[in-house]
Amino acid sequence: MTEGNDPTARPIKDASTVMVMRDSDRGPEVFVARRVRGMAFAGGMTVFPGGGVDASDDDPDVAWSGPAPAWWAERFDCDVPRARRLVCAAARETFEECGVLLADHLDGSPVADAGRYHSSREELESHRLTFSAFLADEDLSLAAGRLRPYDHWITPSVESRRYDTRFFLAALPEGQEPDDLTTEVDLTMWARPVDLLEDFRAGRSMLLPPTWTQLRVLAGFPDVAAALDSERRIVPVQPEVVEHRGGVRVRFDGSDEYWSDYQAGRPEAGLDGSDEYWSDYQAGRPEAGS
């Protein structure tokens, strides 16, 4: 039975997640945040900036530079309006969540000082201002060329909160620096993908499968340029929820290694992998926000 014919499938929402990277003396690093532990959704998880597509992202007149929406539609195998919404949400959520503004001035030069625009973040988050209007007011354009399409995860059909999430990659714009000015996280950091994976294996952090999978890919690149230049074949991943030794697990390509890493640092977890983190499991979620 296809999902379109499955009467038990929950509604699904489009979302965008952005992996912001920079080079360092120790190798490429990616920006991550830890969701506040008490949050009802994915509390305590280490995540990338991102969130759900808003109705306000659907503006065909949004100022735009770089690959056109049609180019993105081809990469993400969707229609052009949907592709435009996904890219707009990626840029908007990155700015709202960590202050990194993927935008260009109208002369084509990149925004280097995003701090001057931070007074608009609260208005964007509270939906008093649309991203399109913000760009127009500031004589900016969405810098689609600073993003790369990277992956596509869909929450299992049995879950109550479901997201159809596209992952993007971006280099940190020169002169900008992300921050932690959001109430949804209690920790932000730059870290090498390999170190974030080791923290997960050691039980010092929690990664959901989509995050773990992206970090494994990013860990293989010597620098940000190589990650940006890599050719990605994007195929939707929708994990299955399966019974396992009296409990449940999610199954996807690579899930055996994921669960091995998970249990390596959590000997107290049941053989089914269930514990407090999995009481409200969501695979393919937008990495922060809603």
Quick: pLDDT tens for 226-284.
999 999 999 999 999 887 776 778 899 999 999 999 989 877 665 444 444 444 444 44
Q: Which pLDDT score, from 0 to 100, does residue 270 have?
A: 52
Report pLDDT for 272: 47
pLDDT value at position 45?
Answer: 84
Which parts of the chain fold into alpha helices (H)?
A: 69-76, 80-98, 121-125, 131-137, 193-201, 209-218, 224-229, 255-264
| pTM (two decimals) | 0.89
Q: What is the pLDDT of residue 183?
A: 62
Residue 9 tokens read as: 């499938």
Name the amino acid, one letter, at 242: V
Q: Which of 122 and 68 is assigned the larger pLDDT?
A: 68
Mean pLDDT over 146-165 rounds to: 91
Check: CB of residue 284 under 8 Å from CB of residue 13.
no
Q: Which two three-digit tokens encode residue 79? A: 């229609």
Residue by residue, DSSP assigns 44-82 as T-EE-SEEEPPGGG--TT--EESS-HHHHHHHHTS-HHH
Contact residues for 278 (Cβ-Cβ < 8 A; gap 6+): none
User: Cα–Cα distances in Å, from 148 out to 29, 96, 200, 238, 263?
Assistant: 17, 19, 26, 21, 33
Return the bridge partners of 104, or none: 110, 141
Cβ partners under 8 Å of residue 125, min gap 6: 96
Measured CA to CA in angstroms, residue 91 lies from 58, 116, 175 at distances of: 13, 17, 17
